[in-house]
Amino acid sequence: MSCGCGQANHEQIAQMTEYRANSEPDSLTGRTIKHSTGKILTISAPIRDVNGSLIGYITNDQDGKVIRIFSKDVSEVL
């Protein structure tokens, strides 16, 4: 017998899709920004909360290292 662990039902998948559809737009993905610490980063993807609100970004620094930042810490779009 299987416990069903890790299996999402159709309602859960529909809810996840709905959150993405209602999320606020992201205009910075793919852009280069300056972080509040002075680091130059390239944004590769937005980070959203369960309601679809933008709370941060997944970025890459100049060495290719992945860094997660809060959206409020973007000081300048280059």
> What residues contact residue 46 under an 8 Å CB cut-off, 6+ apart?
26, 28, 29, 54, 56, 57, 58
pLDDT of amino acid 67: 93
pLDDT of amino acid 73: 92
pLDDT of amino acid 29: 85
Task: Tell me the domains of the chain and their CATH numbers.
Answer: 26-77 (2.30.30)
pLDDT of amino acid 41: 94
**Helix or strand or coil: residue 54?**
strand
pLDDT digits (tens, 9 = 90+) for 23-66: 556 788 888 999 999 999 999 999 988 888 889 999 999 898 99
On average, the pLDDT of the chain sits at 79
